[in-house]
Amino acid sequence: MSHDPTASEVTVSELPPIPSKRYFTIGEVSKLCAVKPHVLRYWEQEFAQLKPVTRRGNRRYYQQHDIKLIRKIRSLLYEEGFTISGARHKLGRKGEGISVKADIPEVRRELETLLQALTG
């Protein structure tokens, strides 16, 4: 029987690379960020920056920048130990949003994946 790790057991650096497509469903984002859909909906209420596109039937469609923000929120809450209000405050500070430095490991993984696809 395989162990399904909880969200707090998976670090952001262990998450899969974000595929290069424009829109993602809440189910896809849930898997990419190791966060359950109801948590994503809750975070939308708590973090003003998180605003997925909504289409007919109130269906949410997230974009790349939303996924990066969710991963940042996830890291603040689960890895750095911030409270919701502490994370909100940190993200709200000028220049404290998603840092380029935080994306380097993700970019490296994506480039390695592309290189393997091209050479394999």
Percentage of the chain lying above the pLDDT 90 cut: 54
Q: Domains, the chain, ranges and CATH?
A: 19-119 (1.10.1660.10)
7, 35 Cβ separation under 8 angstroms:
yes
Tell me the pLDDT band of 2, cut-offs 50, 70 and 90: very low
Place of tokens 């189910």: 27
What does pTM read for this prediction? Answer: 0.71
Classified as helix, coil or strand, 53 is strand
Average pLDDT over residues 55-68: 92
Query: Other C-beta atoms within 10 Å of 3: how many?
Result: 6
Question: Which residues are within 8 A (CB) of 20 and not within 5 positions of it... i.e. 6 or more apart?
Answer: none
